[in-house]
Structure 1
């Protein structure tokens, strides 16, 4: 185990050869592109729907398109980053974000706007894997562990942006209309491109006589089957019915082929072998999916109801979500350093059920203080569950496959977001009405109840965080070491959970 004194002495000894702090700004700026585009849209769905004469069931594709593209693009681009280095993928991805922003600003119809969201999903998928690649490279260059402060800064910046996004989006819409939430990507992209070009290192040439680096093969079949499974399944969920039965058949066939392919492939797209014989890890993935289904369904469903059912403006709805943001950040700050996670998850599960039940009490005459209170209640499990699941994964996953395990955790988060989008589309087919909100709340109660059952049944959680005082440090060391090896998924990147 590395003591704190040894770590401090190591940093001092590194001197000018320490971590290149010039990389921090482009890394953080690039990593916030996805959460800011995810969260700002929550208050823009109703204004966009009014502008194009589209129902919430149609504008829900703006949410699904981003997460579908990200769920597919993140691991694909992660593999490309490992093969070609961080700089070209970072610059290409952030350039695509700027183009997507321009396309969104001048979109003549909803279809083009959805295309811009697909481009945003792929473009924002590059920065975070690139950041983790740079951390790993700096660790190898300096002979030091990746600095925990940089990882913490990435995590905190993503979380803060995610929770203040609805308020920021509301203010932008109030100032100049919904186009601004797409236009903001242009200066962000420009800043990433300038900082990336100036500060990100070029990939060095191998030394003379040194053996060439092994070329990683891209699992094209695995990527295609994964994309086909998610796309067919989402197409069915967005418009369920007997007439679309063939989509379920396609999803099942593609999913079966994907699993068979990944279990047999030497270099799989997503390493499913990490799940073999690891029931606690499977439970953590299940909790992640359930937690983010509830979180995103509330974020988009409640916000749309505030604007259409409760007749608030976009800026008013954004401001009303501030208590949710404040509660999430405060709870994370107060509990984040505590290693025990079972208590956090149980508390988050119970409060989540209470918050979902409270939605049944709301109607068009509900006072503002009650709406703010419900939002604050939802913020508490948001501050507890995601971080606790991440800590559980660090304790449960094989350290040699930490990158693959953490990347799969993020995939389950995206699938939860896709399910949430489908739920909103189903219950808001005729508008974001109070009746639709109540039907959505019954579904969320069922999901939250299942989250509680899965948490209570997982007895392995009681052993996480109850070791000696060295547990957290030794585990952090093993996690940092795992970033130095290339895992089969190629991301090595998703240790920090963000929306």
Structure 2
């Protein structure tokens, strides 16, 4: 299937000017920062709307649920209706979510707001990847536009870490509503830039739109959505597993596989995916790395707050070097389109960092904890950049939207798995011993990730390391 909404030929030197990439970066950054903004606002939200603090955790889960489903769906819609349209629709959803949440007076309203923000921000990355791929092919580039893709990694991954201190500042300065209202100016800026600088998609005729809707496989999207939500609910039920939910989720997964093999235009072409083993390995590598990275971001930070009695604001600054390291390495790696060496380095760094977490105790100086967490910046920066460059070359232009969404979905699965690990081992209490048990799991996952890379002949035989 060919992309019918490709832009007009563009000169290579002008293909990725700042007018084109800036709105894409802003749109891609809205998703990760919103996942962490809310962390510092949960306690004041609970006090303001008079609910237990534990109930506000649903605001975190709601965005995860929305993102897991919406990322690949947004990619598919971008391929069908045009990436600019989907990008703009998503920004409008973020704007609505920001207004609704900022004015919300109860948990249900805030929940709807978070779902809107989750769905809206999920359109940024897959539509940006499709726009970049279209522009690269229009400019007849023979290699991935590494610098542009690196900017997406920085906007889409590294910014997640700075969301914690920014969220803490917003809540301290203007109250919990500011973590919702901040989306309004950000969305407006992204809208103005996108309307002005992103080239229009081709015109959609009504009859073509109808045929496209039929081809989109809405049933497949719905079954996939419910399956992913079931998986999320099961993982969040740990350490007291809800086996009924798991059983239903498995049945739904089997139904999804059956349906996708039956329809002519599947939401996710499982046959094609099964035949593309390198792409599957890329997704798995990324998910394993994200389990460890997010465990550091949320598990080690909880240990610092509870066991070492460090404030949330100070914890945010302790892990800030992790983000800075990842940004620097992303910029260096992506500009050269490197894959093999960064993948190996990210896996080794993940293993070293996990061993470091295993060795820390209550008496460990803060400077060493800063160093250990910064090591995971290598995993985040090099791993995310190299894996993104890898999957960019593993799919065709008409698959890049859905493939990008699935890439992010696997990242969220890694994040949710890390939350499950934390819930299992930090129950009933947070301690050095329980942190070491989590670290032991991280060591195992790091070894598995390293073996997957070394055993991948296509990766190891790359001429350009």
TM over 0.5: yes
Q: CA offset at residue 224 of structure 1? A: 1.5
Deviations along 1:398-439, one digit per CA (max 9) or x if unpaired, are 677455444433332222122223223333444655554333
Partners of 1:328 and 1:400 lie apart in 2 by 30
1:24: Cα distance to partner?
Answer: 3.6
Could you tell me how far 1:254 is from its partner in structure 2? 0.8
Relative to structure 1, the CA distance from residue 23 to residue 329 in structure 2 (aligned partners, 3 Å threshold; closer, same or farther) is closer
Question: For the Cα contact (< 8 Å) 2:40–2:164, is it kept in 1?
Answer: yes
Post-superposition shift, 1:72? Answer: 0.8
Residue in 2 aligned with 1:373?
Answer: 371
- The aligned counterpart of 1:279 is 277
Tell me: CA distance 1:373–1:179, structure 2 relative to 1, closer, same or farther (3 Å). farther
Distance 1:334 1:83 in 2: 34
Q: Given that residues 133 and 397 in structure 2 are in contact (C-alpha distance below 8 angstroms), is that contact kept between their aligned partners in structure 1?
A: no
Instruction: Select which of 23, 27, 31 maps to 1:30.
Output: 27
- Equivalent of 1:306, from 298, 304, 307? 304
CA distance in 1, matches of 2:134, 2:337: 28
Alignment partner, residue 455 of structure 1: 453
Residue pair 1:60, 1:424 contacting (<8 A) in 2 also:
no
* Shift, 1:320, TM fit: 1.2
Deviation at 1:178, TM superposition (A): 4.3
Residue of structure 2 equivalent to 1:131: 128
User: Offset at 1:121?
Assistant: 1.0
* Cα distance between partner residues in 2 of 1:92 and 1:333: 30
How many residue pairs are counted as aligned between the two chains?
450
Deviations along 1:420-470, one digit per CA (max 9) or x if unpaired, are 232233334446555543333233223223222322332332112449xxx
Contact kept, 8 Å, 2:71 with 2:122, in 1: the verdict is yes
1:189-228 alignment, distance < 5 Å = 189-199=187-197, 205=203, 215-216=211-212, 217-228=215-226
Q: Which residue of structure 2 lines up, in the alignment, with residue 326 of structure 1?
A: 324
Deviation at 1:252, TM superposition (A): 0.9
How far did 1:177 drift? 4.3
- Structure 1 equivalent of residue 11 of structure 2: 11
Kindly tell me: are residues 365 and 397 of structure 1, through their superposed partners in 2, closer, same or farther at Cα, counting changes over 3 Å? same
RMSD over aligned Cα, in angstroms? 3.7
1:111 and 1:150 map into 2 onto residues whose CA distance is: 39
Does structure 1 conserve the Cα–Cα contact (< 8 Å) formed by 2:25 and 2:155? yes
- In the TM superposition, 1:163-182 aligns within 5 A as 163-182=161-180
- Which moves more between the two structures, 329-338 or 343-352? 329-338
Consecutive unaligned residues in structure 1, runs of 5 or more: 1-8, 468-499
Q: 1:172 to 1:265 in 2, by over 3 A?
A: same
Identify the match of residue 77 of structure 1 among 74, 79, 83: 74
Q: Is the 8 A contact 2:74 2:405 kept in 1?
A: no
Matching residue of 1:186: 184
Q: Is the 8 A contact 1:41 1:169 kept in 2?
A: yes
Q: 1:135 to 1:391 in 2, by over 3 A?
A: closer
Residues 392 and 461 in structure 1, CA contact (< 8 A), matched pair in contact too: no
User: Is 1:119 aligned to residue 116 of structure 2?
Assistant: yes
Deviations 1:97-153 (A, max 9, x none): 13323444455565654443322110112233443454566678x665599365454
Match of 1:258 among 241, 247, 256: 256
Q: Offset of 1:39 from its aligned partner?
A: 3.8
When residues 332 and 204 of structure 1 are mapped into structure 2, their CA distance, relative to the original with a 3 A threshold, is closer
Residues in 2 aligned to 1:388 and 1:19: alpha-carbon distance in whole angstroms: 20
Residue 355 of structure 1 corresponds to: 353
Mapped to 2, the partners of 1:279 and 1:133 lie a distance apart of 22
Alignment correspondent of 2:313 = 315
**C-alpha distance in 2 between matches for 1:241 and 1:345:** 32
SS in 2 for 1:385: helix
For the residue of structure 2 that corresponds to 1:253, the secondary structure is: helix
Counterpart in 1 of 2:88? 91
Residues 375 and 47 of structure 1: CA distance in aligned 2, closer, same or farther (over 3 Å): farther
Q: Distance in 2 between matches of 1:395 and 1:89?
A: 23
| Paired residues of 1:327 and 1:379 also in contact (CA < 8 A) | yes
TM-score (norm 1): 0.77
Q: Find the aligned partners of 1:111 and 1:305 in 2 and give their Cα distance.
A: 31
Uncovered stretches (5+) of structure 2, i.e. residues with no partner: 1-8
Give the deviation of 1:370 after TM superposition.
Answer: 2.2
CA contact (8 A) 1:43 1:318 kept: no
Q: Give secondary structure in 1 for the equivalent of 2:268.
A: coil
Q: 1:357 to 1:26 in 2, by over 3 A?
A: same
Of residues 274-283 and 119-128 in structure 1, the stretch that sits farther from structure 2 once superposed is: 274-283
Superposed, which structure 2 residues align to 1:404-483 within 5 Å? Answer: 404-430=402-428, 434-466=432-464
Q: Answer whether contact 1:341 1:388 (CA < 8 A) is retained.
A: yes
Q: Residue 215 of structure 1 aligns to a residue in which SS?
A: helix
